[in-house]
Structure 1
C-alpha cells in the first residue's frame, strides 16, 4: 500500500479539525448527522445518475490504484528485460516460454508469449499499444468519477446550508438560539467543500498520476519486448530502457543543435575581432 495517499488524506482532515479546535471550537459542533446525510448521500446520488453502472463498478479498482504501490521499480524492469534478452540470445526466443509463465505482470507475460509464438513484430506492437491505450482510457474514466464527486459535493453542501437556513428563519421565536442554529446549517457547506478538496479531487489527481506511472512502465516493457523479438544485444536493450528512467538534473543542458549554434556564433564573433 502507498501510505502517502492515506497519510495525506488523514493529515488534511487532521489539519481542518485541529484548526477548528484551536480556535476554540468543540468537536461535537463538527458532527451533524443531517448534514452528513445531505452532503454525502446527495453526492453519491448525483454521481450515480451521472455515470452508468458499468463504470461505477470500477470504483473499488480505482481506489486500489490510488492506494497501491508498484511492485517493480524501473531498474527492476530493466534488469528483468536484460536477463530475458540474455536467455533469448543463448537459447533462442523459445527458451523464454518457461520464464514467461512465472512473470507476475500480465502485460509483460502476454508480450513475451507473443514473441515466443512468433507473432509478427508489427502486430505484437499494435496489440500491446492498444492495451496501453485501453488501460489509460479506463483510468481516466475512473478519475472522472471522483472529479465529478468533487464538483457535486460543494453544491450539495450549499443545498444543505440553504435547507438549514430555511428551517432557522421559519422558526424565530427563540432569538437566543439563532446563532447556534445558523452555525449548524453551515456545517453542510463545510462537509461539502472539505470532502471535495481533501478527498475526491486529490484522489482523482492520484489516479491520473498512477496511470501515467503505469503507462511509463508498460512503454518500457514494450520497448524491451520489441528488442527481444528483434534479437538485439542485451546490453543494447539495457541502454535503450535506461533512457526511460526519470532522473532529476540540477542543470538542464541545451539541445545539441542550440549548443552548436551558440558555439558557431561565438566562433564567428571571435573571427571578426
Structure 2
C-alpha cells in the first residue's frame, strides 16, 4: 500500500475544509458550499462526457485505475540487476540452456519471457523486437488510463464554468429582486469550485502518480531487455553489471556497489 497518495489527498481535502470552516459555524459552511443542482451539473456532466468518449470497457477500466495510485509498484532495479548478473554467471558457466530451470523460478513474467526466448535460441534482433513490442503495449495501456484522467481534469473546470453561466443567467433574470443576487451569485460560483476540485484535488494527483508508476515500470523493463540481450550475446558479467548500473541514480549506484553489486 502506498500511503503517500492517501495522506496527501486526505491532507489537501482536510485543509480545504478547514479553510472553509475557520471562523464560521460548520452548518453555515455546509449550506454555502453544498448545492445539489451544482453537483448534478458538474459531476454528471464530467462523467457523461467521459462515458461518451470511451467504450464501456474503457470507461470502467479508467475508473478502476484510481485504485492503482494506492499500490506500490515493483521498482527494485538493483535487485533486478543482481538477478541478471546471477543468470549471466550461470549462462557463462553452463550455457544458455541452463537458464531454463532458473527462468521457471522468476516471478516477473516479462523477465521470464525474455529468458525463455534466448533459451529457445531466438535471434537477438527478434528477441529485442518482441520485448520492445510488449513494452510499447504496456506503455500504451498505461497511457490510456492517464489520458482518461487528463480528460476528466480538462472537463471538470469546463463544466464548472457551464454551471456558473447557468447560475448567472438565472441571477440576471431576477435583478429586480436585490436580495436574491448574492445567494444566486454564490450558487453560480459553487459549480466553478466543484470543477476546480475535480481537476486539482482528484485528477492531478492521479495523473501524476500513474505517470510516475508508468515511468518506473518502463525503466525496469528496459533494464531487463538490456540484461537479457547481454546474456544472450555472451558478455562478461562484469561488463553487464557496469552497463546496467548506468540505469541507476548515483545514490542507488553507490549503495549497489557497497552491497557488493552482483557478486
TM-score range, shorter chain: 0.7 to 0.9
Alignment partner of 2:104 out of 89, 94, 101: 101
Q: Which residue of 1 aligns with 2:39?
A: 36
Q: Which residue of 2 aligns with 1:11?
A: 11
Q: Which residue of 2 aligns with 1:208?
A: 211
Secondary structure at the counterpart of residue 119 of structure 1? coil
Post-superposition Cα deviations, 1:236-265, rounded to whole Å, max 9, x if no partner, equal 22221111102369xxxxxxxxxxxxxxxx
Q: Partners of 2:86 and 2:251 in 1: how far apart? A: 27
Q: Partners of 2:222 and 2:199 in 1: how far apart? A: 33
TM-score scaled by length of structure 1: 0.81
User: Where in structure 2 are the equivalents of 1:103-252 lying within 5 Å?
Assistant: 103-171=106-174, 175-247=178-250
Post-superposition Cα deviations, 1:200-235, rounded to whole Å, max 9, x if no partner, equal 133223222221111111100001111111222222
Q: Partners of 1:39 and 1:119 in 2: how far apart? A: 54
Contact 1:62 1:139 in 2 (8 A): no
Structure 1 residues 230-239 or 218-227, which shifts more?
Answer: 230-239
Instruction: Specify every segment of 5 or more residues in structure 2 that has no aligned partner in the other structure, as ranges.
Output: 253-263
Post-superposition Cα deviations, 1:10-39, rounded to whole Å, max 9, x if no partner, equal 222223222222264744132222222211
What is the aligned residue count? 249
Q: Which residue of 2 aligns with 1:89?
A: 92
Q: Which residue of 1 aligns with 2:2?
A: 2
Alignment partner of 1:70 out of 69, 73, 77: 73
Post-superposition Cα deviations, 1:84-125, rounded to whole Å, max 9, x if no partner, equal 222222332222222222222221111111111111111001
Instruction: Specify every segment of 5 or more residues in structure 1 that has no aligned partner in the other structure, as ranges.
Output: 250-273
* TM-superposed deviation, 1:130: 1.2
Post-superposition Cα deviations, 1:175-196, rounded to whole Å, max 9, x if no partner, equal 4454234313321110101210
Q: Partners of 1:20 and 1:38 in 2: how far apart? A: 22
Secondary structure at the counterpart of residue 118 of structure 1? coil
Larger radius of gyration: 1
Structure 1 residues 125-134 or 56-65, which shifts more?
Answer: 56-65
Contact 2:75 2:220 in 1 (8 A): no
Name the CA shift for 1:174/1:106 in 2 (closer, same or farther; >3 Å).
Answer: same
Q: Which residue of 1 aligns with 2:55?
A: 52
TM-score scaled by length of structure 2: 0.84
Post-superposition Cα deviations, 1:39-65, rounded to whole Å, max 9, x if no partner, equal 111101111222333432431563344
RMSD of equivalent CA atoms: 2.4
Q: Partners of 1:107 and 1:135 in 2: how far apart? A: 11
Q: Partners of 1:46 and 1:60 in 2: how far apart? A: 13
Q: Which residue of 2 aligns with 1:263?
A: none
Contact 2:171 2:180 in 1 (8 A): no
* TM-superposed deviation, 1:167: 3.8
Name the CA shift for 1:165/1:60 in 2 (closer, same or farther; >3 Å).
Answer: closer
